[in-house]
């Protein structure tokens, strides 16, 4: 009886752990003074980055596999990274603006 109860508790714990999936974290990048802050983020697969434009002019975020289009002042763009790798990005309006996302 005691062994059966322990086995039942172990199986319940396993099913509970399987059912708990991470929704991922959100990392925030400010676009301000024609720069990305921070300009480097290390994160995990299934995490999201949100870029928010605090400048008075439009900016973009362009990288391998993603492109924001114009981000107006006070607007944001989100991208969920699902594959491990290093993603360099830049602003197509001001190409000197650069950043990198490292996904583990």
11 lies in some domain: no
Q: What CATH number does the domain containing 67 carry?
A: 2.60.40.420
Residue 90 in any domain: the answer is yes
Query: In the beta sheet, which residues pair with residue 1?
Result: none
Domain that holds residue 44: 23-103
**Per-residue burial over 24-57, b = 16 or more CB atoms within 10 Å of its CB, e = otherwise:** eeebebebeeebbeeeebebeeebebebbbebee
pLDDT category of residue 16 using cuts at 50, 70 and 90: very low
In a domain, 1, yes or no: no
| Peptide bond preceding 38 in cis form (omega within 30 of 0) | yes
What is d(CA 25, CA 14) in angstroms, rounded to the nearest whole number?
24
User: Which pTM was predicted?
Assistant: 0.79
pLDDT for the residue numbered 18: 43
Q: For residues 19 and 54, is the Cβ–Cβ distance under 8 A?
A: no
Q: Is residue 17 included in any domain, yes or no?
A: no
Q: Do the domain assignments include residue 52?
A: yes
pLDDT band at 102 (very low <50, low <70, confident <90, very high): very high
The tokens of 3 are what?
Answer: 């062994």
| 20-79 per-position pLDDT tens digit | 445 799 999 999 999 999 999 999 999 999 999 999 999 999 999 999 999 999 999 999
Q: Could you give the number of structural domains in the chain?
A: 1
């Amino acid at each position: 009886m005691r062994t059966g109860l322990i086995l039942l508790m172990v199986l319940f714990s396993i099913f509970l752990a399987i059912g708990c999936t991470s929704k991922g974290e959100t990392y925030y990048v400010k676009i301000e003074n024609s720069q990305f802050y921070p300009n480097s983020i290390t994160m995990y697969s299934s995490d999201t980055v949100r870029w928010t434009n605090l400048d008075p002019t439009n900016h973009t975020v362009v990288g391998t596999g993603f492109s924001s289009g114009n981000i107006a002042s006070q607007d944001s763009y989100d991208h969920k990274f699902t594959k491990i790798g290093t993603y360099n990005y830049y602003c197509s309006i001001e190409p000197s603006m650069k950043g990198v996302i490292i996904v583990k």
